[in-house]
Each structure stands twice: as structure tokens, then as C-alpha cells.
């Protein structure tokens, strides 16, 4: 099982979607937006680290 450190190039798996069903529609919408924003930040961070590391 590989560890997802700063120098890995595979993002961690997305959060399980079944938790969304436990939330109300309003909470689900807020949760989804929060996850999308967090995922976008992680994506930018991985791109940055990818460029800094200089890996192919």
C-alpha cells in the first residue's frame, strides 16, 4: 500500500460518497462544495509539488 506523501504523483482516493446520503439536501450541497474546493486545492498543490520535484 503506497503512502501518499508530498513526492507521490497519485492523489489520495476521493472521500466515500455514501456519507452524502446521511446528510440533508442543504448539508449535502454545502458538503459537496466544501469537498470540491478542497479537491481543487489538493489538485493545485499536487501540480505545484509535481513541478517543484521536477519529475516526469
CA distance 42 to 12: 9
- Tell whether 36 is covered by a domain: yes
How far apart CA 38 and CA 44 sit, in angstroms, is: 10
Asked if residue 19 belongs to a domain, the reply is no
Domain housing 34: 24-53
The answer to whether position 11 is within a domain reads no
Per-residue confidence in pLDDT tens, the chain, 56 aa? 555 555 556 666 666 655 555 556 667 778 778 888 878 888 887 777 776 665 54
What was the pLDDT predicted at 49?
76
Q: Which residues contact 42 (CB under 8 A, 6 or more apart)?
A: 11, 12
pTM: 0.30
Amino acid at each position: 500500500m503506497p503512502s501518499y506523501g508530498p513526492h507521490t504523483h497519485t492523489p489520495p482516493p476521493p472521500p466515500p460518497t455514501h456519507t452524502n446520503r446521511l446528510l440533508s439536501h442543504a448539508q449535502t450541497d454545502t458538503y459537496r462544495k466544501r469537498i470540491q474546493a478542497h479537491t481543487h486545492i489538493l489538485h493545485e498543490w499536487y501540480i505545484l509539488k509535481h513541478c517543484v520535484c521536477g519529475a516526469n
